[in-house]
Structure 1
Amino acid sequence: MTTAPAEADSYVLPLPGPDTSVVLPQWISQGNTHPNARYRDPVWPLAPLIDNPFKELEALHWRNCPAPLLAQLKLVTWTMINGQLRPTFAKRRGVSARTRGSAGEMGENSREWMRLARWLHKQGITDLADCTEDQWRAYVAHRWDTGSMSHESAKRVCSRLTLLWAFDQLSALPAGISRPPWDIEGDGDFVPAADGSSGQENSTEPIDPQVLGPLLVWAIRLVEDFADDILTAWSEKGRLTDKVNATEPTPEGIAALTELLLPQVRSGAPLPSNRTRQPGALALTYIAALTGATRQQVSKFGSRHGLTEVVAHRPGPCPLHVPVAGRINGRPWREYIDFYEAAELMRHLGTAALIICLYLTGMRPQEVQAMRAGCCPDPGTDGDATPRRHLIRSRHFKNVINDDGHPVSAGEDRGIPWVAITPVVHAIRVLERIVAQDELLLSAAHHDFQHGRGHHGALKKTTLNRRIEDFVVWVNQEAEAHGLPEQVVPADPHGAIRMSRFRRTLAWHIARRPGGLIALAIQYGHMRTVLDARTSSGYGARSRRGIHSVLDVETALAAADTAAHLRDRVAAGEKVSGPAARRALTAAATTPRFEGRIVPRTFAKKAAKFLARDGVVLYDNPDSFLICAFKHDNALCEPDSGETAPRQYACQQGCGNAVRTDMHARQMREKADEIDLKASLVPEKLAKRLRRNADHFRKMADAHDATAQTAEALT
């Protein structure tokens, strides 16, 4: 009698050999041409797993792993790269757990494992099997002591270490590392206490309004006023450079150099200088283009006549002979564009378009990076000749998985498009003039204006963040040069301006600045209308996900702040007027106060539920000097069916949702005084109109004083 052979475990991979591919073919998508490596190689690129054009190409460097533990760690890492966890393992860890991670997650896992290996080696441990419960406990205690580690970050570290044990179980030759104790007991006793910090986008601080205002003004100015000048100058620079590259040395070139440069030297005039290099560099390419000489001829001529010393003391411009049409306050923004300035201006133009797209669409940074030329075609018209909205059709990446539940690096086409308002369309059109059709709008190859190195994919996050910082420096230089101190971008109190902050800032301004304390205020109001449509014809997201959840969170926080401020003012003795005064006081008394800015993952659903309470949510409208106790059926701003917030930019006098306090009355009188002051400085016809407006504010303030009541009288 014979025994049937045991069925092979499909989750355990065969043992790799020295020449085995690091990434097996079944995990490499069609069209991915990144180089693979062999098992014995000292560097393992994870690029064959990366189809995302804006992701950094991960690689694992085995020099960072101590030699005694190298073989064991290599095997478990290879198993992670090419295998997948058992579904039972993932199921026990919640709905978000996956049997296979992304390339970025694999890289983070492996680097954490190498960090553990280095610590074990220092403890004299040379076999993963000797990493017992005591070592696990000691390691995480050491890990938290090496620097500030938030609660969420520590949980991620514990999860990565658990995966080391899990994938070791699936390797063809398990090292026998023990199961971490937190996987048995829970991580509550192993990680630092929660301090409210998290990596979720809702906890990201919005950009300060005083920062965003001038930043957006200059971004739109570049795209709409200066783009033609910059693109024309860049084209001319390219033409001249190509001309120089094709030039052959001739005696006529030397003669032209003599005729151009020596009279300037004798007269004491400045010489054309390449200011992008060390001070005093002769503008070789520019001079060659002017004279028909080669760069080598210009260089030798300069050395022979001592021009390097001359240009160091008398550096001069290299003007491109192209028209400058852009204006600031009615005056040309440049007398000319310099040959060596064109690349910098192109970089800032691309950054300006990026800022507009990030802020005025609500797209995530990676979704903006994934846009391609042609993604926002001009729409047709409906049967009544009404123009349709511009729509952006592109890819999204968050939580995109395949049928097996594995992350899809390339993302997927978004089923519902984004809506593009006019400034965004202009920004996309500018980017389309920089790249070829169907190319990524932020292609690294096309946007490397200085060096033209032909990098793969889109510009990466670190590069774009650095370009935003450079753009701010340039803006402030321009504002000073043009005498516009009010358009200087101040330092943001919450730190550097990063791409991740724009999306939250859009929601912040829609919820808190409906009438406009910064540029494009009316567009914010229209954006809320678009975002609240929640249909396939509006801004795209299924149900209330995506930007809707961010908007709901910020709106709920703003409404809670409004209720708290109303409570505080009434408690201080202020009176209240308006048809919705009694309802507003009841709502203020029952609305929770949010202390701090902690916004956990679960708050988005709570925010949506909070905002759905028709009639008891309070919205501050500082431009109309009132609070809106929004009740859909009473609203004169004509909100669409299903909207949970007013169209604050369309606030109407006499609305049944209006509430005013004594503070609003004081503000209206102050506004009236301000308008009267302006009226004294303008022609009489305009002054009469301004005074009528001031009288209107005073009448509304008087109406409040005549009808206002205390909280005790109303409740």
Structure 2
Amino acid sequence: MNPHPIRQPANELRSAHVEQDALVLVGRPLRPGAGVGPRFGDDIWDLCAAHHAPNTHLSGLRIRFDRIGDPFWRITAKEYAAARLTTPVDRGGQGLPSVATVAREIRILRALFTYLAEYHPGLCLADIDDDTVLDRFLIIATAGSSAKWQPHERARHAWLLTLLHRSGDQLTFDRLTHIPFQGRTARQISGRRNNRDNATPRIPPQVLAPYLRGALFYVQTASRDILAAVEERKRLDNSFIPSQRGEISQRLELFLRQRRNERRGLPAAPANVATRFGEQINLALIARMIGVRKEALKCSSHRCRILTAAAELGLEPGGMDSPISLNPDTAAPWRDRFDLPDLHIECRHLLAAAYVVTAYLSGMRDSEVQALRRGCHFTESSEDRILLRHKLRGTVYKGRNATGEAATWVVTEPVARAVAILEQLTDSEFLFTRFSHNRDQIDSLPAQEINVWLNAFRDRLAHVRPHDPIPEVNGRQWRFTTRQFRRTVAWHIARQPFGAVAGKIQYQHVRVAIFEGYAGTSASGFPSEIDAEREFARLDSILDQYEDYKAGVRTPARLIEQFDHIRAELGDFPGRIADTSRLRAMLANTARTYHPGVLNDCYFDPAAALCQRHHRADSPESAGPIINHCQPALCRNSCVTTRHEPAIRQVIADAEQLLAIQRLSPIQRAALHNQIASMAALLPVEGGRA
């Protein structure tokens, strides 16, 4: 049974809305030299010409309409794609979707057609009159997704069905006339929670620390050896000189003599090659090092001399001449000498290390990191001419038009070092370039493949830096993704502003650089992500305080008032289960004015804030606490908990140590005694609740 009433031959089907030779990318900015893009009548649409962000697999931008067997549905899919590419059909006023989004939607639409043909043969879109068929499609199409991402995928599929209905007036042969799911939103249909928290996991500190130390080691130490080996490889590539048999013998003898003088063995074959072919000596590398072809060394006389020298001198792993630096942590070489195949792999690890340093210590998104080009780094003096700032020129894509928007980031010295290394590692325009084992670099970006590289680099660190292992999390190795770095540095800046990165780089320094880079235009939206993380931190702190309050732990009087009210309203008493979501909502209101601190927290009420006494009510400072004017022992807003006790006791100990100085004036001694008394008043009273 043909699901479509119109009986035209497939090659005569024509859309009533779009001409066969119409350009589907008309009106969109195209990459220079990429052509005008596909036409409506083509069965394969390559949308790469209209895609500008670098971190997307180009294969994902190729739409294969020829894989839709039914010619009517093939036209329907083309008309839907053309409508999405040229007309905002989602009624949200959000403009046109990206070509990557349209390509993904067509893959979902193709899955819908496959589902209908398999489970409901003969049924066309126009015949669907309730949600039964659509509900089953969502279940089957997303069954393979992980539990974590299944609601997300269901929402995507449900949104496609909604858009398909809204595009009905652009479709000629078949259309979805039924309103899917009674007009409910994709989030409601999928069951996705409206959670404002960032779903991207942050890297645990115990995992991040050795991983980042390893990346910094590659950038600051290993890079010198890798780049030197790259230069040696280039010299070997140009070393071949046509030679007579006698000249080959002379070159080989000179090479063997040099190895004897340096007390070095002959290059050993890579382990996989030696195992596969039974050859222990790397003849290919020896041939390149003396400027001849490998076949020239296979004659019996040359091979005999090489075998004799190997028996005398032994074999050296790697075999290239570039020396290997000592690891500062172990005072031993960080690896054996390079061979040519292994050098390609180390170049890839170096690129991954540079990515980690750049992404984490700048707060840039993956698309922004991969868009960095040669010459992007420059320096500028600060306004007072005291500091020299490292800066990167780049492009922001998120929330901008298809071509992106120019932006500048202030970065730290390790990031500048990483960029300088990449400029030596590659000759391409883009700094992050894919490398191949069998040939020189390919001028193409790693796109989403960078996630594979990040985890391969994790595995490499286990061999290079066994003294600084990356621990497992819940019995499994941590899987790194590009999105985690921006989320993690935002979390650390918001919650641990004085923590140290790898012993030498302080988050406070990174924070200053990042905020200077985003000041004014906030081009990449990073300050808002910091603010969101601070809000989550405040809520977490309040939740902990509330649980301590219920357990009878000493609680500041300022918080007891609020907690008593919340507990009474919720009925959160022993033997009863409180509404967790309602509790979080009520505590979220409290958290908005709660500011965690080192010596105390501030539950800010401007009317009671002593720090506000010298500021007008309409001044910018009145919007929150003024930390420099805080008086924790006197202000009613001050909240001191057991978490603050170590810092308070440290302040008292420092003041008592200063009192031991003999030459202090009476005024100085009085000030120190006052500080000790003020801090001591903050310490908890044994057995007291407040």
TM-score, with length taken from structure 1 = 0.72
Tell whether 2:94 aligns with 1:104.
no
Question: Which residue number corresponds to residue 412 of structure 1?
Answer: 405
> Distance between the aligned counterparts of 1:334 and 1:224, measured in 2?
13
TM-aligned CA deviation for residue 284 of structure 1: 3.6
Show the 5 A alignment for 1:15-94.
Answer: 15-16=19-20, 20=21, 23=24, 27=28, 29-33=30-34, 43-57=44-58, 58-62=61-65, 64-65=67-68, 67=69, 69=70, 71-84=71-84, 89-91=89-91, 94=92
> Distance between the aligned counterparts of 1:385 and 1:343, measured in 2?
42
1:526 to 499, 502, 509: 509
> Kindly tell me: are residues 279 and 589 of structure 1, through their superposed partners in 2, closer, same or farther at Cα, counting changes over 3 Å?
farther
The one-letter amino acid of 1:454's match is I
Greater shift, 45-54 or 109-118, is seen at 45-54
1:474-519 deviation per Cα after TM superposition (whole angstroms, max 9, x unaligned): 1111222xxx2xx211234594111111111001111222332653
Q: Does the 8 A contact of 1:288 with 1:298 survive in 2? A: yes
Question: Which residue number corresponds to residue 476 of structure 1?
Answer: 462
Tell whether 2:290 aligns with 1:291.
yes
> Kindly tell me: are residues 450 and 510 of structure 1, through their superposed partners in 2, closer, same or farther at Cα, counting changes over 3 Å?
farther
Question: Which residue number corresponds to residue 239 of structure 2?
Answer: 243
TM-aligned CA deviation for residue 250 of structure 1: 4.2
Question: Which residue number corresponds to residue 185 of structure 1?
Answer: 183
Q: Does the 8 A contact of 2:79 with 2:170 survive in 1? A: yes
The one-letter amino acid of 2:544's match is H
**3-state SS in 1 of match to 2:518:** coil
Greater shift, 185-194 or 220-229, is seen at 185-194
Root-mean-square deviation over aligned CA pairs: 4.9
Question: Which residue number corresponds to residue 150 of structure 2?
Answer: 150
Tell whether 2:415 aligns with 1:424.
yes
Show the 5 A alignment for 1:193-208.
Answer: 193-194=191-192, 202-208=198-204
Tell whether 2:110 aligns with 1:114.
yes
Show the 5 A alignment for 1:239-638.
Answer: 239-244=235-240, 247-248=242-243, 250-257=245-252, 271-275=266-270, 277-280=272-275, 281=279, 282-299=281-298, 316-325=316-325, 327-329=327-329, 331-334=331-334, 337-340=337-340, 341-382=342-383, 384-401=384-401, 408=402, 410-414=403-407, 417-436=408-427, 439-444=429-434, 447-448=435-436, 451-452=439-440, 454-456=442-444, 458-461=445-448, 463-480=449-466, 484=467, 487-493=468-474, 495-516=478-499, 518-519=501-502, 523-529=506-512, 538-540=517-519, 542=521, 546-575=525-554, 582-583=557-558, 616-619=593-596, 621=598, 627=601, 634=611
TM-aligned CA deviation for residue 214 of structure 1: 0.8
> Kindly tell me: are residues 127 and 86 of structure 1, through their superposed partners in 2, closer, same or farther at Cα, counting changes over 3 Å?
farther
**3-state SS in 1 of match to 2:287:** helix
> Kindly tell me: are residues 642 and 670 of structure 1, through their superposed partners in 2, closer, same or farther at Cα, counting changes over 3 Å?
closer
> Kindly tell me: are residues 194 and 258 of structure 1, through their superposed partners in 2, closer, same or farther at Cα, counting changes over 3 Å?
same
> Kindly tell me: are residues 491 and 708 of structure 1, through their superposed partners in 2, closer, same or farther at Cα, counting changes over 3 Å?
closer
The one-letter amino acid of 2:78's match is W
| Percent of residue pairs bearing the same amino acid type | 21
TM-aligned CA deviation for residue 213 of structure 1: 0.6
> Distance between the aligned counterparts of 2:219 and 2:16, measured in 1?
56
> Kindly tell me: are residues 467 and 189 of structure 1, through their superposed partners in 2, closer, same or farther at Cα, counting changes over 3 Å?
closer
The one-letter amino acid of 2:484's match is R
Tell whether 2:155 aligns with 1:159.
no
Aligned residues: 616
> Distance between the aligned counterparts of 1:528 and 1:711, measured in 2?
41
> Distance between the aligned counterparts of 2:511 and 2:93, measured in 1?
32
The one-letter amino acid of 2:442's match is G
> Distance between the aligned counterparts of 2:628 and 2:268, measured in 1?
52
The one-letter amino acid of 1:291's match is I
Question: Which residue number corresponds to residue 684 of structure 1?
Answer: none
Q: Does the 8 A contact of 1:151 with 1:193 survive in 2? A: yes
> Distance between the aligned counterparts of 1:343 and 1:436, measured in 2?
15
Q: Does the 8 A contact of 1:574 with 1:661 survive in 2? A: no
1:64-93 deviation per Cα after TM superposition (whole angstroms, max 9, x unaligned): 32x2x1x223323333444458978433xx
1:263-320 deviation per Cα after TM superposition (whole angstroms, max 9, x unaligned): 999xxx96423327433554244201333322222356699659899999x8632343
The one-letter amino acid of 2:163's match is L
The one-letter amino acid of 1:491's match is E
> Distance between the aligned counterparts of 1:506 and 1:304, measured in 2?
57
> Distance between the aligned counterparts of 1:418 and 1:660, measured in 2?
38
1:228-278 deviation per Cα after TM superposition (whole angstroms, max 9, x unaligned): 23212221122123214x55564321454477679999xxx9642332743
> Kindly tell me: are residues 249 and 454 of structure 1, through their superposed partners in 2, closer, same or farther at Cα, counting changes over 3 Å?
farther
Q: Which runs of 5+ in 2 are unaligned?
A: 1-14, 571-577, 613-618, 654-671
TM-aligned CA deviation for residue 399 of structure 1: 2.1
Q: Does the 8 A contact of 1:324 with 1:332 survive in 2? A: no
**3-state SS in 1 of match to 2:386:** coil
Question: Which residue number corresponds to residue 18 of structure 2?
Answer: 14
Q: Does the 8 A contact of 2:25 with 2:85 survive in 1? A: no
**3-state SS in 1 of match to 2:374:** coil
1:402-460 deviation per Cα after TM superposition (whole angstroms, max 9, x unaligned): xxxxxx1x32223xx222122222222222222348x212133xx4475325243x221
The one-letter amino acid of 2:54's match is P
Q: Does the 8 A contact of 1:396 with 1:411 survive in 2? A: yes
TM-score, with length taken from structure 2 = 0.74
> Distance between the aligned counterparts of 2:628 and 2:252, measured in 1?
63
Question: Which residue number corresponds to residue 682 of structure 1?
Answer: none
> Kindly tell me: are residues 427 and 201 of structure 1, through their superposed partners in 2, closer, same or farther at Cα, counting changes over 3 Å?
farther
> Distance between the aligned counterparts of 1:38 and 1:584, measured in 2?
66
Question: Which residue number corresponds to residue 689 of structure 1?
Answer: none
**3-state SS in 2 of match to 1:119:** helix
Q: Does the 8 A contact of 1:512 with 1:555 survive in 2? A: yes
